[in-house]
A and B are shown apart, each in its own frame.
Chain A
Amino acid sequence: MTECPECAATVANHDLILGEVFPCPDCGTELEVLATEPFAIQPAPTEAEDWGE
């Protein structure tokens, strides 16, 4: 269990893997798994305008 860095919601690790991106169940922020043990997350990088160019 850890806390969403945006809204402080409790976020549990349900079979998430390293690097996986998932939405916070409360605020919808895209979160990236930094570590599974201990569980750590951060807001996922947002797509820059020139991505895919």
Chain B
Amino acid sequence: MKAAIVGGSGYTGGELLRLLLGHPEVEVTQVTSDAMAGRPVGRAHPNLRKATSLAFVPRSALVPADVTFVATPHGESRTFVPELLATGGLVIDLSADFRLKDPAQYARYYHVAHPRPDLLAASVLGLPELHREALRTTSLIAVPGCIATATILALRPLAAAGWLGDRTVVVDAKSGSSASGRDAGPAGQHAERSGAMRAYAPAGHRHTAEIEQETGARVALSCHAVEAVRGVLATVHAFVDRPVDDKELWRTYRAAYGAEPFVRIVHETDGLHREPEPKILAGTNFCDLGFASDPADGRVVALGALDNLGKGAAGNAVQCLNVRAGWPETTGLEFLGLHPV
């Protein structure tokens, strides 16, 4: 299958390229970057030097492929994805432009009316754990955000169990610097990032809309920048309407994800890594989920950890392609991570 990447000079585009170059069923034909047109892709992604002879091309030179991955900043893909779809290929968009079903929610969180609400309705959120069957036939896949993915996977079993009532769920998320993208501005400078434990969105983060859409829960999300390059840890505080013990939580999460190839339930009674930790997930497509019950407060704590560039973006996009193409879902995504790292 021939694949193109639009917006390939960023961190997400680089991770996509890394995964696709190792994918046995995919041939990457073009990687676009207007800013780096003509330069070898290894200039932006030094880990890929000598792995490919591809050079960046401007988006105006894009030739339709069987699948086009879009890794442009939010707000751009909504302007050209309709043209890509018209060529008949599959589009997998990693930006936020087609994630929300409700145009009013899109306008609320992105401060502009969506120009193609019909495509909001037609797109399928790229989360195989929730939408596997719909992904098999769609032509537009919208890959959810990294914090949203970790939170949705952690929270959804609790919401589906009906334990939340109408109580607001509090989510405290930490993310690494690569989540801000290659052009993060001052937030990405060493002087600002080193040692950071900075609340960059204590309220109103855009991923709130995706989480509420996919879980049906009312969510209060706070996001923090921490000193890591890759990684998201979402800590979900859910107040439940009856006592829930560890065994019931195990059963609930097992029922939801027991057969999932990239979701691991991590809640061990001994050892250093008893609960999910994003550090050991760097470069992988895993989302590790953990939990703990706090009966004194009627609280269940759920944890979701992933690599924001992996299961939080590029890895998940490749998993969606595997589902759509009918290949084994783990194809090209077998990396188990590093330890120590």
Cα–Cα distance between A7 and B265 once the two chains are bound (Å):
11
Who on chain B is nearest to A24 by CB?
Answer: B269
Cβ of B66 within 8 Å of any chain A Cβ, yes or no, is: no
Interface residues on B, range: 10 to 19
A28 beta carbon closer than 8 Å to chain B = yes
CB B259 to nearest CB in A, in angstroms, measures: 14
Is B111 an interface residue when CB atoms closer than 8 A count as contact? no
Query: Does B27 reach chain A (CB closer than 8 Å)?
Result: no
A27 & B268 in contact (Cβ 8 Å cutoff): yes
Interface bits A16-42 vs B (CB < 8 Å: 1, else 0): 000000000011111000000000000
Chain B residues touching A, majority SS? mixed
0/1 string, B256-290, CB within 8 A of A gives 1: 00000000010111110000000000000000000
A7 close to B267 (CB less than 8 A): yes
Q: With A and B bound together, what is the CA distance between A26 and B271 in angstroms?
A: 14
Q: Is residue B242 contacting chain A, with contact meaning CB distance below 8 A?
A: no
| Residues of B contacting A30 in the complex (Cβ-Cβ under 8 angstroms) | 269-270
Closest to B251 in A: A8
In the complex, are the beta carbons of A8 and B250 less than 8 A apart?
yes
Q: Does A1 contact B (CB under 8 A)?
A: no
Q: Which residues of A have CB within 8 Å of B269?
A: 6, 27-30
Tell me the number of A-to-B contacts counted with CB atoms below 8 Å.
28
Give the complex CA separation of A41 and B282 in angstroms.
Answer: 36
- Check if A12 is an interface residue, CB within 8 A of chain B: no
Chain A residues within 8 Å of B271, by CB: 28
**Cβ of B247 and Cβ of A26 under 8 Å apart?**
no
Interface status of B246 (Cβ within 8 A of chain A): yes
A27 to chain B, nearest CB (A): 5
A26 to B265, CA, bound (A): 8
Query: Contact between A7 and B247 (Cβ–Cβ < 8 Å)?
Result: yes
In the complex, the chain B residue whose C-beta lies closest to that of A30 is B270
Enumerate chain B residues within 8 angstroms of A6, measured Cβ to Cβ: 246-247, 269
Cross-chain contact B250 with A7 (CB below 8 angstroms) = yes
Contact indicator per residue, chain B 230-247, by CB within 8 Å of chain A (1) or not (0)? 000000000000000011
Q: How far is the CA of A8 from the CA of B254 in the complex (A)?
A: 10
The chain B residue with its CB closest to the CB of A29 is B269
Cα distance, A27 to B270, chains bound together (Å): 9
Q: Complex formed: what's the CA distance from A28 to B268 in Å?
A: 5
Given A7-B246, A7-B250, A8-B247, decide whether A28 and B265 contact each other with a Cβ distance below 8 A. no
**A26-B265, A28-B271 provided; 7 other pairs, C-beta below 8 A?**
A7-B247, A7-B250, A9-B250, A26-B254, A27-B250, A27-B269, A29-B270
Taking Cβ atoms with an 8 Å cutoff, the residues of A that contact B are 6-9, 26-30
